[in-house]
């Protein structure tokens, strides 16, 4: 990539404060910005780096007022954090190319139907009656089972496993070694102390614009569907159990799990190592701090929770402050 400050400002609908012809060829964090790099400044605690940074261009908020002289050219935007994400998207899109490719060691069953410019890497397997949309990339060692439907502009990274009958929307990213559609953890206790497996006959539906992290598992339902709705982002090493529904634009950090038949609303934030028990309902716009354990329904929208069992965040902090004081007596 090579961009001038003027070009970047036009892409981001921003303004230039400094040399509009300043040119950059790479991205860098503001702590380690060097000549030829572009950085961004959004967190106030990093302000001192703005004055020390050697980068040629820094993206900042329009409201930023320097307290010292700044060497770099500033590109001012409404929101520096989202602007750099948009710029990265723009650069990635320019580099991205779509072309038809079939690895010589791949196996595509004759009844599968692949759209235009689909990439299939070596040792990938695409099962009977599978449907793959235009410009989707199926990388090496991916398994796509019978009757799977995958939409357009998806990326399935090496080693991912998509069980038969699963449905994947458009613009979905599934990272390496994720498993979509394994049986849920369902067993019935018998009188002799053994456990009888409950067969899972449903599927998983992943809607458009979802991202699934590496080594994450999304189990198929006993009946009906496990559903991950549009725009949701799931980190690495997460567990989504059978018959779970996750609302649109929810984010879920690493090592979190949602037990069977729970329903999580839209725009929720689930921190790392959060556990949500089964058969619960979580209201829209709920936030969970790391390592929270939820054991009961959340009915009120917009609340934040912490601790195990989970309690409202401010209540937890007051309780923790009292706990610390009692320990000093």
Q: Are residues 68 and 107 in the same domain?
A: no
26, part of any domain: yes
3-29 per-position pLDDT tens digit: 999 999 999 999 999 999 999 999 999
Q: Are 76 and 13 members of one domain? A: yes
Interstrand relation of 23-24 and 3-4 (parallel, antiparallel or unpaired): antiparallel
Task: Give me 114's structure tokens.
Answer: 């692949």
Is 38 part of a structural domain of the chain? yes
**CA 108 distance to own-chain centroid:** 29
Instruction: Evaluate if residue 30 carries a pLDDT over 80.
Output: yes
Average pLDDT value over all residues in the chain: 95
Question: Who has greater pLDDT, 325 or 327?
Answer: 325
Residue 271 has pLDDT above 90, yes or no: yes
State mean pLDDT over 297-318: 96
Q: Is residue 169 part of a domain?
A: yes
Is-cis flag, bond preceding 309, omega within 30?
yes
State both tokens at 122.
């070596």
Please report which residue ranges of 29-171 form alpha helices under DSSP H: 47-52, 80-95
Domain termination residue (choose one: 173, 197, 228) = 173
Q: Within this chain, do residues 157 and 78 fall inside the same structural domain, yes or no?
A: no
Asked whether residue 289 is domain-assigned, the answer is no
Instruction: Indicate the pLDDT class of residue 95, thresholds 50, 70 and 90.
Output: confident
Rounded CA-CA distance 315/305 in Å is 9
DSSP letter assigned to residue 137: E
Give yes or no for residue 97 having a pLDDT over 90: no
Active-site residue flag, 242: yes
329 band by pLDDT with thresholds 50, 70 and 90: low
Paired with 132 in beta bridges are 114, 150
Helix/strand/coil percent split, the chain, to 5: 15, 30, 55
Strand bridging mode 161-162 / 195-197: unpaired
Instruction: State the Cα–Cα distance between residues 239 and 174, nearest whole angstrom.
Output: 14
Domain boundary among 72, 95, 118: 95
- Supply the CATH number for residue 160's domain: 2.160.10.10
Q: Please compute, for residue 293, the number of CA atoms within 13 A of its CA located in the half-sphere on the CB side.
A: 3
Question: What H or E segment, with its residue span, contains residue 324?
Answer: helix 313-327
- Per-residue pLDDT at 3: 93
What is the domain-level CATH number for residue 62? 3.40.1390.10
Q: Is residue 22 located within the same domain as residue 105?
A: no
Q: Give 130-150 pLDDT, tens digit per residue.
A: 999 999 999 999 999 999 999
Tokens of 212: 């699934």
Which tokens hold the place of 77?
A: 């935007």
Q: How many other β-carbons are positioned within 10 Å of the β-carbon of residue 80?
A: 23
Rounded Cα distance between 170 and 150, Å, is 7
Question: 82 lies in a domain?
Answer: yes
User: Is the pLDDT at 120 greater than 90, yes or no?
Assistant: yes
Residue 117 DSSP SS3? coil
Question: Using the 8-state DSSP alphabet, how is residue 262 labeled?
Answer: -
Domain final residue pick, 46, 67, 95: 95
Contact status, residue 119 vs residue 97, Cβ threshold 8 Å: no
pLDDT tens digits for range 299-309: 999 999 999 99
pLDDT at residue 327 greater than cutoff 70: no
Active-site annotation holder among 48, 200, 242, 267: 242
What is the distance between the alpha carbons of residues 103 and 125, in angstroms, rounded to a whole number?
A: 10
Q: Are 46 and 78 contained in the same domain? A: yes
Reply yes or no on whether the pLDDT at 96 is more than 90: no
192-222: per-residue pLDDT in tens?
999 999 999 999 999 999 999 999 999 999 9
Quick check: is 265 in a domain? Answer: no
Helical H segments across 41-199, by residue range: 47-52, 80-95
Count the domains in the chain.
2
Q: How confident is the model at residue 94 (pLDDT cuts 50, 70, 90)?
A: confident
Say if 188 falls within a structural domain: no
Task: Give the phi and the psi of residue 45 in degrees, each rounded to 5.
Answer: -70, -10
Q: How many CB atoms lie within 10 A of CB 226?
A: 29
Q: Is the pLDDT of residue 1 over 80?
A: no
| 92 pLDDT tier (thresholds 50, 70, 90) | confident
Residues 28, 14, single domain; the answer is yes
Query: Is residue 42 a part of any domain in this protein?
Result: yes
Same domain, 10 and 68: yes
Angstrom distance (rounded) from CA 312 to CA 294? 11
Range of the domain at 123: 98-173
């Amino acid at each position: 990539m090579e961009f001038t400050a003027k070009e970047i400002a036009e892409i981001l609908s921003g303004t230039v404060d400094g040399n509009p012809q300043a040119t950059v060829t790479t991205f860098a964090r503001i702590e380690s910005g060097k000549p030829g790099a572009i950085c961004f400044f959004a967190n106030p605690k990093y302000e001192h780096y703005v004055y020390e940074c050697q980068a040629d261009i820094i993206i900042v908020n329009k409201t930023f007022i320097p307290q010292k002289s700044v060497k770099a050219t500033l590109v001012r935007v409404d929101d520096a954090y989202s602007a750099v994400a948009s710029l990265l998207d723009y650069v990635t899109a320019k580099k991205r190319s779509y072309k038809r490719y079939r690895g010589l060691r791949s196996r595509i069953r004759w009844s599968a139907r692949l759209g235009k410019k689909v990439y299939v890497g070596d040792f990938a397997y695409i099962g009977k009656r599978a449907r793959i949309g235009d410009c989707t990339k199926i990388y090496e060692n991916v398994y796509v089972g019978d009757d799977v439907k995958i939409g357009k502009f998806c990326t399935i990274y090496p080693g991912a496993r998509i069980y038969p009958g699963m449905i994947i929307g458009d613009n979905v990213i599934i990272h390496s070694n994720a498993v979509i559609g394994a049986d849920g953890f369902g067993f019935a206790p018998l009188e002799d102390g053994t456990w009888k497996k409950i067969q899972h006959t449903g599927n998983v539906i992943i809607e458009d614009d979802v991202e699934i992290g590496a080594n994450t598992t999304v189990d198929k339902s006993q009946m009906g569907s496990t559903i991950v709705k549009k725009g949701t982002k799931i980190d690495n090493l997460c567990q989504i159990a059978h018959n779970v529904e996750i609302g649109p634009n929810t984010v879920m950090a690493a090592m979190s799990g949602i037990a069977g038949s729970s329903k999580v609303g839209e725009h929720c934030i689930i921190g790392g190592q959060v556990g949500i028990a089964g058969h619960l309902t979580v209201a829209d716009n709920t936030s969970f701090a790391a390592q929270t354990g939820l054991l009961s329904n959340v009915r009120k929208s917009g609340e934040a929770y912490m601790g195990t069992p989970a309690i409202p965040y401010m209540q937890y902090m007051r309780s923790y402050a009292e706990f610390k004081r009692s320990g000093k007596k």
